[in-house]
């Protein structure tokens, strides 16, 4: 007995193939021309969006540079250890180590003049490595790090000499501990000011207890 089951014949739909080729061709033409902004498929639309976003980012960066200029970059690889184990500024010769307070002071201390570089010294302290500066208790003021704990009121509020901003040792040789009456000092006065007939300490210990020594320059 013959079966009534039919078997579909395999054939190639040339019209469907031509339609797919045409669609891909249009997509390729669209994506190949970004200026037209006529992408006809989702893929082309996404690519155009990414390109536009990139162009907008570049344009924003160029605009900021034109308005504010290129931000100066702090010197790299300038770390060295100066006297008293303090951080210093390493010159181009990689040998000379300049004290922080000798950087941008108008005097060339590096053989090449790197410590007086105009770009670096144009905006202090922002252009300096952070290890060379000390931020005072008042954020509007700063000093070079080697001026901290030198018994002198460099910040104006003694934050460079007393806690909690500075962890300084007790008065060293040649200094007398007391509460000074002079704004210049914080917790110590030079012993060369003792017994000079003038009050330097609130408790007068500079005149009655302290022993006068020679002043050290």
Q: What is the pLDDT of residue 107?
A: 96
Q: How far apart are CA 128 and CA 106, in angstroms?
A: 15
Residue 11 has pLDDT above 80, yes or no: no
Q: What is the pLDDT of residue 78?
A: 76
Share in percent of the chain as helix, strand, coil (round to 5): 35, 10, 55
Determine the average pLDDT of the residues in 43-64: 66
pTM higher than the cut 0.75: no
92-147 pLDDT tens trace: 999 999 999 999 999 999 999 999 999 999 999 999 988 899 999 999 999 999 99
Q: In which residue are the tokens 């089951």 written? A: 5
* Three-state secondary-structure class, residue 170: coil
For residues 29 and 45, the model is more confident at 45
Q: What is the pLDDT of residue 201?
A: 97
Other residues' Cβ atoms within 10 Å of the Cβ of residue 160: 27
* Three-state secondary-structure class, residue 155: coil
Instruction: Give the single-character DSSP code of 86.
Output: -
End-to-end CA distance of the chain: 127
């Amino acid at each position: 007995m013959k079966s009534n089951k039919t078997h579909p014949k395999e054939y190639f739909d040339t019209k469907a193939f031509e339609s797919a080729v045409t669609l891909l061709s249009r997509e390729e033409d669209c994506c190949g021309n970004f200026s037209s902004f006529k992408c006809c498929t989702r893929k082309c639309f996404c690519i155009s969006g990414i390109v536009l976003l990139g162009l907008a980012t570049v344009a924003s960066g160029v605009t900021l540079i034109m308005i504010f200029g290129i931000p100066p970059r702090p010197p790299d690889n300038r770390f060295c250890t100066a006297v008293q184990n303090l951080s210093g500024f390493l010159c181009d010769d990689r040998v000379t180590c300049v004290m922080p307070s000798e950087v941008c002071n108008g005097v060339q201390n590096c053989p090449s003049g790197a410590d007086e570089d105009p770009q670096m010294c144009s905006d202090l302290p922002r252009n300096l490595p952070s290890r060379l500066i000390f931020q005072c208790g008042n954020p509007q003021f700063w000093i070079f790090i080697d001026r901290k704990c030198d018994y002198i009121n460099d910040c104006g509020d003694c934050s460079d000499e007393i806690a909690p901003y500075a962890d300084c040792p007790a008065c060293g040789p040649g200094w007398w501990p007391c509460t000074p009456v002079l704004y210049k000092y914080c917790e110590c006065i030079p012993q060369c000011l003792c017994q000079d007939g003038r009050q330097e300490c609130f408790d007068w210990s500079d005149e009655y207890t302290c022993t006068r020594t020679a002043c050290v320059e």
